[in-house]
Amino acid sequence: MRIVTISGASKVPFNLDGYIMHSSSSLEVIHLCLQPGQEILQHTNPFDVVVCLINGDVTLHQDDNKIQLTLYDTVELEKNLSRGFSNHGNKEARLLILKKF
């Protein structure tokens, strides 16, 4: 058994408040925090992603669609599908991102 704390986790290699909580050849788990008004611009990834909102108010942007996520909503996003996120609330939002390789 291995326990990873947020204070002991590696920071993500891009300019966001995120931490790699687990990494293996088949799965990576990232804890991501977005401040009010902060966004992740639409992008694609060459792998499937599962996103779970664990705190706050987040909008998922998928092409021209805007989907308001509510607490504990979980979304599976297929590889190469455009997606972005924005914190439309007045407190920080936290997401768990699971990258499936």
The ranges of the chain with pLDDT < 50 are none
pLDDT score of 94 = 98
Residue type, position 13, single letter:
P
Q: Are 16 and 58 in contact (CB under 8 A)?
A: no
Q: What is the pLDDT of residues 59-80, one digit of tens each?
A: 999 999 999 999 999 999 999 9
Q: Which residue segments constitute the domains of the chain, with CATH numbers given?
A: 15-100 (2.60.120.10)
Q: Are 49 and 95 in contact (CB under 8 A)?
A: no
pLDDT score of 36 = 98
Contacts of 28 (CB under 8 A, 6+ apart): 20, 22, 98, 99, 101
CB atoms within 10 A of CB 34: 24
Please state the pTM of the whole predicted model: 0.93
CA 61 to mean position of chain CA atoms: 12
